[in-house]
């Protein structure tokens, strides 16, 4: 199965990014083909160098893990609006476009939005 998970919310303050990535990890474990597309404030989750309190989830680590066996794409326009450059994002994540999101949507068997 091909799954597309679109996440819009910031990495901290709500748990939508956290839960979307938890689902991505579970789907990858079941050998699904997973694409995670971060939009809006969610692109901040791909920023390198995050320091979170002990016992608290770390979006950077979760995204790195998702990028190992899945695909992690970031809205380029959203990155620009937040001053986030390609040099500042986690290894394995890629700057992307709405055209790529449209293509991923058409190719997916399931599309989930967080």
Q: Residue 55 has what pLDDT? A: 87
Q: Residue 64 has what pLDDT? A: 96
Q: Residue 105 has what pLDDT? A: 98
pLDDT-based confidence at residue 92 (cuts at 50, 70, 90): very high
Judging by beta carbons within 10 Å of its beta carbon (0-12, 13-18, 19+), is residue 26 exposed, middle or buried?
exposed
Question: Is there a contact between 46 and 90 (Cβ–Cβ < 8 Å)?
Answer: yes
pLDDT averaged over every residue in the chain = 97
Spacing of C-alpha 104 from chain mean position: 14
Q: pTM, whole model, 2 decimals?
A: 0.95
Task: Tell me what the mean pLDDT of segment 84-97 comes to.
Answer: 97
Q: Residue 40 has what pLDDT? A: 98
Task: Tell me what the mean pLDDT of segment 87-110 comes to.
Answer: 97
Helix 59-69, helix 16-29: angle, nearest 10:
30
- The predicted-structure confidence for 11-38, as pLDDT tens digits, reads as follows 999 999 999 999 999 999 999 999 999 9
Domains and CATH numbers, the chain: 2-49+56-113 (3.40.1260.10)
């Amino acid at each position: 199965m091909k799954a597309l998970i679109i996440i819009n919310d910031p990495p901290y303050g709500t748990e939508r990014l956290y839960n979307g990535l938890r689902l991505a990890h579970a789907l990858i474990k079941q050998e699904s083909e997973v694409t995670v597309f971060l939009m809006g404030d969610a692109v901040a989750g791909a920023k390198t160098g995050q320091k979170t309190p002990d016992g608290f989830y770390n979006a950077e680590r979760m995204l790195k893990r998702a990028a190992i066996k899945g695909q992690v794409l970031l809205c380029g326009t959203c990155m620009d609006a937040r001053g986030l450059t390609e040099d500042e994002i986690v290894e394995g994540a890629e700057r992307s476009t709405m055209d790529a999101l449209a293509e991923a949507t058409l190719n997916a068997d399931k599309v989930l939005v967080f």
